[in-house]
Amino acid sequence: MKKSILFSSLLVLFTSAHAELQSLNNQQLQQVEGQAGATINWTLSLNQTSPGVFDTTTCSDLRFCRFAVSSNNRYDDGSYVSNDGTIHKKNGDVTTATGRKQWLVFKGLQGTIQIQNMDISGDDLKYTADNGTDEKIKAALKVSFKKEYPILIRNLGFDALSIETDTVANEGAGNVSGYFNADKYGATAGPDIKVTTSVYDQGKETGFTGITMNGNLALQGNLKVFSCDASMKRC
């Protein structure tokens, strides 16, 4: 009984939602307004609560606000894996396990990028054919920027860059990946502390460089994106 009632309700819903196309006369068509293309406002925010403000809640444990890359065959002892899957020592001898994997780690990663009023529309790309006389036309996607609406960059970068190493060879049992290293600089020795006399570095994550960018990138002009085939001599 419940199924029958539900099915009847659905029929009523679909019937009431039915609509058909209506023709428009010339006067109605003249009142229609439209726009070719679209205007985009886009914000990319990484580990920030608002533009330029670091998210100390999400990143209360800084190990979770990192970006890490492990290159192929990058191990602490120079071992490598050949294309057929065989593991070799640094000198080329065959072995059964690789060394400890190494990582390039960007620590304290954050930033905001805001794109304002970027216009996207269709356009015709006109160019001269190979014979030097005939004009060709190709459909293109046009992206337009205005200098009055710059791209905003706020605290984009990372605090430290470092090379970290896994704790166990061949990613074996109990391994802690290098990108999860919790070392910081400090004035006195302790767990996960590297002693330094630099007051500036004390309390910060270990690493050898960092970068932070702030600014407005003003662009003026159009960028046309189009397909390329054999009819164009530069393709």
3 dihedral zone (left: phi>0; alpha: psi -120 to 50; beta): alpha
Residue 204 lies in a domain: yes
Residue 24 lies in a domain: no
pLDDT digits (tens, 9 = 90+) for 47-89: 999 999 999 999 999 999 999 999 888 999 999 999 999 999 9
pLDDT on residue 19: 56
pTM of the complete model = 0.74
Closest C-alpha to 206, from 178, 171, 166, 175: 178
pLDDT digits (tens, 9 = 90+) for 195-235: 999 999 999 999 999 999 999 999 999 999 988 877 666 66
- Give the residue with greater pLDDT, 14 vs 204: 204
User: If residue 14 lies in a helix (H) or strand (E), which one and from where to where?
Assistant: helix 2-16
Residue 23 lies in a domain: no
Domain residue limits at 67? 37-225
* Whole-angstrom distance, CA of residue 214 vs CA of residue 216: 7
pLDDT on residue 77: 95
* Count of domains observed in the chain: 1
pLDDT on residue 221: 96
Given a cut of 70, whether residue 5 has pLDDT beyond it is no
Q: What token pair was written down for 87? A: 């593991």
**36 exposure class (CB count in 10 Å sphere: 0-12, 13-18, 19+):** exposed
Residue 234 lies in a domain: no
Residue 25 lies in a domain: no
pLDDT on residue 35: 63
- Tell me the average pLDDT of the chain: 87
| Residue type for position 194 | K
Residue 105 lies in a domain: yes
Residue 10 lies in a domain: no
Q: What token pair was written down for 121? A: 């529309």
What confidence category does residue 96 fall into, taking pLDDT thresholds of 50, 70 and 90? Answer: very high
89 dihedral zone (left: phi>0; alpha: psi -120 to 50; beta): beta
Residue 4 lies in a domain: no
